Amino acid sequence: MVQKTRLETLLENGGSPLLPDVGEAFYLVEYWRNAGCVGQGFAGPVALTWQEIVAWQKACGLQLIPFETKTIRSMSEAYAGQWHLSQALECPPPYGGIANLIDRETVRSKVGRLFKAQIKNQET
């Protein structure tokens, strides 16, 4: 059985990740996603290599300026690094508070049952 990621749990529970606004640099996020975000290492994700980024650019007919290429590499390094940190259960999610992981409907249902039980006990 595949364990759900924190992001999958957050989205299932109606939350949304608190991601930073990257403004006009959003195109770099799309480039990074198209490049593959990360490579696969023996112990999990690793940053895209410079060679992989250059090969991706050539395959797509793109010629990024050095700043763009460095940014994509930095994003890949940050993602792979956070992935490894996040393997520890006590690591908070990088995209927002732990409160976003709460299933609000389940909490509402449990609190409702507790109140009903309390009222029933007072009536007897």
Q: What digits encode the pLDDT tens for the residues 85-109?
A: 888 877 776 665 555 555 666 666 7
Evaluate whether 4 touches 89 at the Cβ level (below 8 Å): no
Report whether pLDDT(64) > 90.
yes
**Residue predicted with more confidence, 93 or 72:** 72
Question: Cα separation of 21 and 12, whole Å?
Answer: 23
Answer whether 68's CB lies under 8 Å from 60's CB. Answer: no
Tell me, yes or no, whether 117 lies in a domain.
Answer: yes
Residue 3's pLDDT band, with cuts at 50, 70 and 90, is confident
Contact 91, 85 (CB under 8 A): yes
Domains of the chain: total: 1
Asked if residue 41 belongs to a domain, the reply is yes
pLDDT at 101: 53
Give the long-range contacts of residues 33-42, CB within 8 A, separation 24 or more: 34/60, 35/72, 35/76, 37/75, 37/76, 37/79, 38/76, 38/79, 38/80, 38/83, 41/80
Does some domain include residue 102? yes
pLDDT of residue 2: 74
Whether the predicted model's global pTM rises above the 0.85 cut: no
Residue 94: its pLDDT value, please? Answer: 67
Q: Count H helices, E strands: the chain?
A: 5, 2
Nearest to 53 by CA among 67, 40, 37, 30: 37
Q: Please report, for residues 24, 35, 48, the alpha-carbon distance to residue 18 in angstroms, rounded to integers and kept in the order given.
A: 18, 24, 25
Q: How far apart are CA 112 and CA 118, in angstroms?
A: 10
What is the pLDDT at residue 51?
97
The answer to whether position 98 is within a domain reads yes
* Residue 1 domain-assigned (yes or no): no
Residue 94, domain extent: 6-14+22-123
